[in-house]
Amino acid sequence: MTERRQQLLDAAIRVLGTRGLRQLTHRAVDAEAGLPEGSTSNQFRTRGALVAGVFGRLVEVETAAWDRLAGQLPPGDVDAFVAVLGGLIRQPTTEGRAVVLARHALFIEAAVHPELRREIGAGRERLAEWGVPLVAGLGSADPPAHFRMLLSLIDGLFSNQLAYPEDDFDPEAAIAALLRGLLPR
């Protein structure tokens, strides 16, 4: 990806995550990126192309975060997994909230746009390629299903904390409870 394209997509994520889907326009992205008018439309001819580009960039950003997570984990250590994953969830609900809000806006958009739904499915499969082995390493009897449950929990934790922030937000407790129910004792 070129530096300019990445700059535009990161600006589009900020627009989407701070102002919502209706405000995601070529002109708004140009302004957010501090680039001349027309810069975004030169890279993304249609709004659909821009939305697809944003989703692709979100997958890159989130995959990089998950890769960092995987690099911090000693194999099979449930407590370390809970601690690291809790930190991964806590960060986007504070300084990284625009990324999570942008992702959620696109998930809602996917409900009425099948092409975006397919891209989301492909992104989840990409995450599963390395996430399922992590869950398997914790002793899961059904790593693919348990990884999907873990992703659902994470999405719910994000949604709740972003919509109604709690001072005592404790994602680690929820993750540990889910894993206690899924993993052998």
What does residue 139 show for φ and ψ, rounded to 5 degrees?
105, 15
Tell me how far apart the alpha carbons of residues 105 and 16 are, in angstroms, rounded to a whole number: 7
Identify residue 26 by its one-letter amino acid code.
H
Q: What is the mean pLDDT of residues 45-61?
A: 91
Tokens 């990806």 -> residue: 1
What is the overall mean pLDDT for the chain?
A: 90
Q: Quote the pLDDT of residue 95.
A: 67
150: pLDDT strictly greater than 90: yes
Q: Quote the pLDDT of residue 102.
A: 93
73: pLDDT strictly greater than 90: no
Tell me how far apart the alpha carbons of residues 176 and 75 are, in angstroms, rounded to a whole number: 16
Give just the sign of the alpha carbon dihedral 160, 55, 120, 21.
Answer: positive
CATH number of 49-182: 1.10.357.10
Q: List the domain boundaries for the chain.
A: 49-182
Q: Identify whether the C-beta of residue 169 lies closer than 8 Å to the C-beta of residue 93.
A: yes
* Residue range 77-136, pLDDT digits in tens: 999 999 988 988 887 777 678 888 999 999 988 888 888 888 888 888 888 888 898 899
Q: Quote the pLDDT of residue 72.
A: 78
Q: Identify whether the C-beta of residue 153 lies closer than 8 Å to the C-beta of residue 174.
A: yes
Tokens 């059904």 -> residue: 142
Q: Quote the pLDDT of residue 15.
A: 97
Of 66, 59, 57, 60, the closest CA to residue 87 belongs to 66
Identify residue 40 by its one-letter amino acid code.
T
Tell me how far apart the alpha carbons of residues 72 and 81 are, in angstroms, rounded to a whole number: 9
181: pLDDT strictly greater than 90: yes
Q: Quote the pLDDT of residue 123.
A: 84
Q: Identify whether the C-beta of residue 109 lies closer than 8 Å to the C-beta of residue 54.
A: no
Taking the C-alpha atoms of 136, 140, 143 and 145 in order, what is their torsion angle to the nearest 10 degrees? -160
Q: Quote the pLDDT of residue 144.
A: 96
**CB neighbour burial string for 104-126, b if at least 16 within 10 angstroms, e if fewer:** bbbeebbeeeeebeebbeebeee
Of 37, 43, 36, the closest CA to residue 9 belongs to 43
Q: Identify whether the C-beta of residue 147 lies closer than 8 Å to the C-beta of residue 135.
A: yes
